[in-house]
Amino acid sequence: MTFDLLDGSFHPPLFLETLCREEILNAFRRLLQRTPFYGVYKAFGHYPDYWYWILRGRPTRSPHLLKQKTVREYGEKFKVNTLIETGTYYGEMVAAMKRNFSQIYSVESVPGLAERARKKFAAEAHIKIICGDSRIVIPELLDKLSRPALFWLDAGYYGWIGKQGESDRLSIEIKSILSDPLEHIILLDDARGLTGRDGVPSASDVKAYVESTFAKRSVEVKYDILRIIPRSLSDGAD
């Protein structure tokens, strides 16, 4: 803390001012989440978030615009027409990708969020929002596929970041996808959540497991996204 010797006024340390601003912003976001306008706020917020990320020197946590760019580029690079997402949330990735894939499935476990997304994309015949447990839904979708798909998986949604009781979710889904005879592409968001602590595997643990169990797959982490692709296609990946 500091004290102005001229006027005797108190000036809190900079970190306290920053903390207060963040608390106010978080409170505003929580309030906005209860309104129909939160989806719009989230969508427009991606642009300042992206430039702020650039200005901070591109830290580990990547902005949503970069995630959108990655999903779009992997779909184009590997000529994949089907996108399967887990964790619909407010439908931001679906909205961004709706003109880039001929078929989109998004799995959401929270009924309220799933219903909101269904209404949002009701006019889009190629988009299907599914409410349910992705450990059950993903194998069902795999049975329907005749060509490889791009899977956009959310590590937070899978319970490896602070959600007890679902620590097997991600491993079950990855094993199901990689055991399928088709050569699917997997992009795992929020890879920073793979900490290697408190029963959570590290990114290197996931890499070792995948590359030893599924020898035809390669794994890398870039910009907080863990990427699993067939080794035969790895030369075409960034």
Q: Is residue 17's pLDDT more than 60?
A: no
Q: Is residue 22's pLDDT more than 60?
A: no
Over residues 200-229, the pLDDT tens digits come to 788 899 999 999 999 999 999 998 999 999
pLDDT for position 31: 67
Identify whether the C-beta of residue 183 lies closer than 8 Å to the C-beta of residue 233.
yes
Pairing of strands 82-86, 2-3: unpaired
Specify the CATH number of the domain 64-236: 3.40.50.150
Categorize the per-residue pLDDT at 61 as very low, low, confident or very high, splitting at 50, 70 and 90. confident
Pairing of strands 217-222, 225-230: antiparallel
Task: Report the pLDDT averaged over residues 136-157.
Answer: 91
The residues spanned by each domain of the chain are: 12-55, 64-236
Task: Report the pLDDT averaged over residues 90-114.
Answer: 95
Q: Is residue 190's pLDDT more than 50?
A: yes
By C-alpha distance, which of 71, 45, 66, 43 is closest to 54?
66
Collapse the DSSP code of 25 into the 3-class scheme (helix H, G, I; strand E, B; otherwise coil) and give the result: helix
- Radius of gyration of the chain from its Cα atoms, rounded to whole angstroms: 20
Strand partners, 202: 195
